[in-house]
Amino acid sequence: MDFIVDVAELLKGADSVAVLTGAGISAESGVGTFRDASGIWNKLDPSKWATEEGFRSSPSMVWEWYQDRRKIIKDASPNKAHYSLVSLEKLGKKVTISTQNIDNLHQQAGSKNVLELHGNIFRNKCIECGKPYAKEIMNDELCKCEFCGGIIRPDVVWYGEQLPQDVWQMSEQAAIDSSIYLVIGTSGAVYPAAGLAILAKRAGSTVVIINTEPTELDDYADFVIREKAGIAMPEITARIR
C-alpha cells in the first residue's frame, strides 16, 4: 500500500493529530454510506428525509426511518479503523476526532475527544423548543415534548441547519493546531465539515486522506491512501511503536 510507511513515520513524530471522519469509516461495521453506488442518497431524496421541512410534512414516515437506522446502528460494532484511532491516543498522541457520523462508534471504541459535527442518532430533541428528550424511545410512534407539546425529532443536523457552534469552533481549533490531519471515509462533499481539511492544510498541517475512492478533497492532500479504512489504519498504527 502506497504511503503507509510515510504516514506512519509522520505520525510517529506528531503529537497533535486531528481527524475528520465520514460514513466510510463505519462502512465495514455495516452502517450504510450516503454517496457510494449503494449509498442512502442514491435511493432516497435527502430533501424529504434529512430536512426540517421533510420531517414536518411527513413526520411519522421520517421518524420510522430514523428508528430503523437506529436499530441498524445499535447492532453495529466499531471496526479496526475506529480502534486504530484509539490506539493512536494510547500511544500518547493528542487525538481530536471531528466526525460527521451520528453512530456513536468512535465513542463506543473508546476515543476520548470526539466532536460530533452532525449530532447523534441516539439523542432526541423537541422540534419546537429544542429541549433534549431524555427518555429512550423504542417504538415507532411519534412522541411529544413534555414542556411544550412539540414533536420529538432526532438530534441530528439536517440540511439547512447550523452545526453546533461549540463543536464547530473546537473542530476548527483542532484543525489549526494539528500537525497531521487525517481525513477518513468521507467524500468531502458536505460543507462546512469538508472545509476543516482545507483549513488544516492552509494552517500548515500535513493532510492525509484514506478512502477507497477519489474524494473532493484529494487536491488538498499531501498523501492519499486508496484503501479501506479498516485495512489502512491498523497497518499504519502497527508501525508506530
- Contact at 8 Å (CB) between 47 and 55? no
Closest distance between ligand OAD and the C-beta of residue 32, in Å? 8
**Which CB sits closer to ligand OAD, 87 or 211?**
211
Catalytic residue among 118, 125, 153, 228: 118
Binding site for ligand OAD (CB under 6 A): 22-24, 27-28, 33-36, 39, 46, 50, 100, 118, 157, 185-187, 189-190, 210-213, 215, 228-230
Closest distance between ligand OAD and the C-beta of residue 79, in Å? 8
Closest distance between ligand OAD and the C-beta of residue 26, in Å? 9
Residue keyed to cell 492525509: 208
Closest distance between ligand OAD and the C-beta of residue 121, in Å? 10
**74 Cβ contact partners less than 8 Å away, ≥ 6 residues apart:** none
Active site annotation includes 118: yes
C-alpha span between 103 and 75 (Å, rounded): 11
Closest distance between ligand OAD and the C-beta of residue 99, in Å? 8
Least Cα distance to 183 among 12, 36, 19 occurs for 19
**Which CB sits closer to ligand OAD, 176 or 189?**
189
- Contact at 8 Å (CB) between 180 and 17? yes
- Contact at 8 Å (CB) between 181 and 19? yes
C-alpha span between 119 and 101 (Å, rounded): 8
CA angle, residues 169, 173, 178, in degrees to nearest 5? 150
**Which CB sits closer to ligand OAD, 139 or 162?**
162
Residue 102 backbone dihedrals phi, psi, to 5 degrees: -110, 15
**Which CB sits closer to ligand OAD, 64 or 177?**
64
**Which CB sits closer to ligand OAD, 30 or 149?**
30
C-alpha span between 201 and 119 (Å, rounded): 25
- Contact at 8 Å (CB) between 97 and 111? yes
DSSP state of 34: S
Active site residue ranges: 118
